[in-house]
Amino acid sequence: MREQQLEAIRDRLTASAEPVSAERIAEAVRAEGMALGTGTTAQLVKALRDELVGLGPLQQFVDTAGVTDVVLDGQGRIWTDGEHGLTDTGEQIGSEEQARALARRLVSIAGGRLDEGHPCADGRIGNCRIHAVIPPIAVEGTLISVRVARSSTATLEHLAQHWIGAEQWLEAVRTLVTRRRNCLVSGATGSGKTSLLAAMLSEVPSEERIVIVEDTTELSPQHPHVLHLQGRGGNVEGAGRVDMGQLVRETLRMRPDRLIVGECRGAELRDFLTAMNTGHAGAGGTVHANSPEAVPARLVAMGALAGLTPETVAVQAAAALDAVVHVERGAGHRMPVALSALKYDDARLAMVPVLSTVADQVERGPGWEELLG
């Protein structure tokens, strides 16, 4: 009897063109003669809302404090990542058909398309970035990745609770902000690049205007004057695409005090470096790299996508960028481990150590005086 009532409620909600809300779900529950006010019914309303407009079986983990990522593997198992590292929740989606249906619904809500002709897609739902891949591209089965952007951005003091040499690092990072140094935050996936950059932007004086360019909005600094521009994919014919490079060029007409590129990953690097070489001090962004020493090679690779030679990238980057803060993740904590200044030396881009965490000690390098002294 209960399953029939639930099915009737689903049909009632999906038959209408009106958006599904908690109020409409409650009305549908009452229409089926189910009393509201009990704990069981409240759970039912929440479960239906998660199923129809939320993230379904993933929603409860997205709502869990400390969780930064929720992922579904090819066997239908649900994992979380965050304060306690990658963890198997013990929950599982029953079948591949259910997993694929969930992936398609999430991408559709985000305004995208996921099918055999377009088997990989991403988008944004609320405070979550959604990415999904279906077979045959995903060999084992449908894969879903959810990155959770918490609405309350952590401050530098909060982040520094788990840093080695917190006082020295706080001094260095704040000096980069106050002196309007152009810098990149580098690190591997999940190392805390976005969190650190957002916390740094929260330190920017309130009278300054921050313009942020991202593929999918993630940066949410606690600042009164932040503007976001988000890229857009093209339709089936490729029309309508707005790439990161175009958005960076648009920002130059928007009077930014601070120009931020959420993640540099391709040809937009050319426009980013050009902007920083035309008087936009205090600019920043993030870049994927396994170590500080790997950053020059990453920049050269991205520059190649824009048709720039390695020497051109080195000259432009050395002139545009002042510093790179590298972050790593260990024992469940994310922290800065190296601050380097950039220098053009012998026709290449060199990294000069400024501050480094070695074992349990923080050491100043030869670049300290010039960058922060």
Last residue of a domain, one of 92, 127, 149: 149
Residues 47 and 75 in one domain: no
Query: Would you state the pLDDT for residue 46?
Result: 65
Last residue of a domain, one of 131, 149, 167: 149
Question: pLDDT per residue over 278-325, tens digit each?
Answer: 777 899 999 999 998 999 999 999 999 989 999 999 999 999 999 999
Residues 307 and 320 in one domain: yes
Residues 26 and 65 in one domain: no
CA atoms within 13 A on the CB side of 364: 11
Query: Would you state the pLDDT for residue 14?
Result: 59
Residues 284 and 350 in one domain: yes
Largest CA distance in the chain: 79
| Residue 348: how many other CB atoms lie within 10 Å | 15
Q: What is the mean pLDDT of residues 45-63?
A: 77
What is the count of structural domains for the chain?
3
Question: Who has greater pLDDT, 149 or 249?
Answer: 249
Residues 237 and 352 in one domain: yes
Last residue of a domain, one of 149, 173, 194: 149
What CATH number does residue 85 fall under? 3.30.450.370
**Which stretches within the chain are classed as H helix?**
2-15, 22-31, 39-52, 59-62, 96-109, 156-159, 166-178, 193-201, 244-251, 268-276, 295-305, 310-320, 368-372
Residue 247: pLDDT band by 50, 70, 90 thresholds? confident
Residues 113 and 240 in one domain: no
Of the candidates 178, 190, 187, 175, the one whose C-alpha atom is nearest the C-alpha of residue 145 is 190
Q: What is the mean pLDDT of residues 28-42?
A: 63
Supply the Cα-derived Rg of the chain in whole angstroms: 23
Residues 355 and 321 in one domain: yes
Query: Would you state the pLDDT for residue 179?
Result: 95
Query: Would you state the pLDDT for residue 267?
Result: 83
pLDDT(234) > 70: no
Residue 78: pLDDT band by 50, 70, 90 thresholds? very high
Residues 28 and 86 in one domain: no
pLDDT(7) > 90: no
pLDDT(219) > 60: yes
pLDDT > 70: percent of the chain = 83
Query: Would you state the pLDDT for residue 174?
Result: 97
Q: Please check whether residue 318 is in contact with residue 184, taking contact to mean a CB–CB distance below 8 angstroms.
A: no
The pTM (predicted TM-score) of the whole model is: 0.77
Q: Please check whether residue 23 is in contact with residue 7, taking contact to mean a CB–CB distance below 8 angstroms.
A: no
Query: Would you state the pLDDT for residue 127?
Result: 80
Tokens of 136: 């045959």
pLDDT(134) > 50: yes
What CATH number does residue 298 fall under? 3.40.50.300
Residues 6+ apart with CB under 8 A from 15: none
| Residue 105: how many other CB atoms lie within 10 Å | 17
Residues 44 and 58 in one domain: no
Residue 312: which domain range?
A: 156-372
Residues 6+ apart with CB under 8 A from 340: 292, 295, 323, 324, 326, 351, 352, 353, 354, 365, 367
pLDDT(13) > 80: no
Q: Say which DSSP state 161 is in.
A: G
Question: Who has greater pLDDT, 310 or 37?
Answer: 310
Query: Would you state the pLDDT for residue 38?
Result: 58
Residues 71 and 2 in one domain: no
Lowest mean pLDDT among 8-12, 206-210, 319-323, 355-359: 8-12
Residue 206: pLDDT band by 50, 70, 90 thresholds? very high
Distance (Å) of CA 367 to CA 21, 129, 200, 238, 324 = 56, 37, 21, 46, 12
Query: Would you state the pLDDT for residue 1?
Result: 43
Residues 289 and 193 in one domain: yes
Q: Please check whether residue 220 is in contact with residue 148, taking contact to mean a CB–CB distance below 8 angstroms.
A: no
Residues 213 and 361 in one domain: yes
Query: Would you state the pLDDT for residue 100?
Result: 95
